[in-house]
């Protein structure tokens, strides 16, 4: 990965991490655990929730395992995607989103033994979906975006050659002319 792409990854990762930390600190400082505030009626609420499990409450009470998996995910993101991010600012940004989110939740797991979740979405008078936070959102959006971008890249190249890291999602004006 070029120095510019690495800087982009770092900037996005830091921005996600800082946004995640600030929002979690605000929730922890201003709301008791279990309390909720309606943001968009009963559809969207801010709810102070502690989550000892993985995303969506999977594997509760497995903090050590999840911490080890998070560290592994951070290394996998850095080493696997660096080849993919080499040719695309968009893919580099998705890498930064995933990296910042993974580190944000890892800091919570190591420091507190749980992750603070606070976005609570559900149906009025009906089921509530899983609570989540900025880190979770960044990870999920980053995974979906990189999947779409790689699919788009592969489709533009006409096959699986996109996995070789040679295709680009950059605007045509930044591409070198072919000979």
Q: CA 50, CA 150: separation in Å to the nearest integer?
A: 34
Of all residues in the chain, the percent with pLDDT exceeding 70 is 69
- Evaluate if residue 100 carries a pLDDT over 70: yes
Name residues whose C-beta falls within 8 Å of residue 121's C-beta, 6 or more positions apart in sequence: 43, 44, 45, 128, 129
The answer to whether the beta carbons of residues 133 and 117 sit under 8 Å apart is yes
Look up the pTM and report it: 0.73
Q: Which of 23, 58, 28 is nearest to 130 (CA)?
A: 58
Q: pLDDT of 106-148, one tens digit each?
A: 899 888 888 899 999 988 888 888 889 999 899 889 888 888 8
Residues designated as active site = 117, 136
Q: What is the pLDDT of residues 13-27, one digit of tens each?
A: 999 999 999 999 999
Around Cβ 9, how many Cβ atoms within 10 Å?
27
Neighbours of 162 (CB within 10 A): 22
């Amino acid at each position: 990965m070029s120095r510019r792409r690495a800087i982009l990854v770092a900037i996005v990762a830091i921005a996600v991490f800082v946004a995640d930390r600030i929002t979690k600190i605000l929730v922890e400082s201003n709301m008791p655990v279990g309390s909720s505030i309606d943001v968009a009626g009963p559809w969207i609420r801010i709810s102070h929730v502690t989550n000892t499990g993985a995303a969506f409450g999977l594997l509760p009470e497995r903090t050590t395992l999840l911490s080890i998996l998070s560290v592994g995910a951070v290394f996998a993101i850095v080493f696997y995607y660096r080849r993919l991010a080499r040719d695309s600012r968009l893919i580099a940004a998705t890498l930064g989103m995933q990296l910042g989110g993974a580190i944000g939740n890892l800091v919570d797991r190591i420091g507190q033994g749980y992750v603070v979740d606070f976005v609570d979405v559900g149906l009025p008078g009906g089921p509530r979906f899983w609570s989540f936070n900025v880190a979770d959102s960044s990870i999920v959006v980053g995974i979906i975006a990189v999947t779409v971008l790689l699919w788009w890249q592969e489709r533009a190249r006409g096959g699986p050659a996109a996995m070789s890291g040679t295709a680009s999602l950059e605007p045509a004006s930044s591409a070198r002319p072919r000979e």
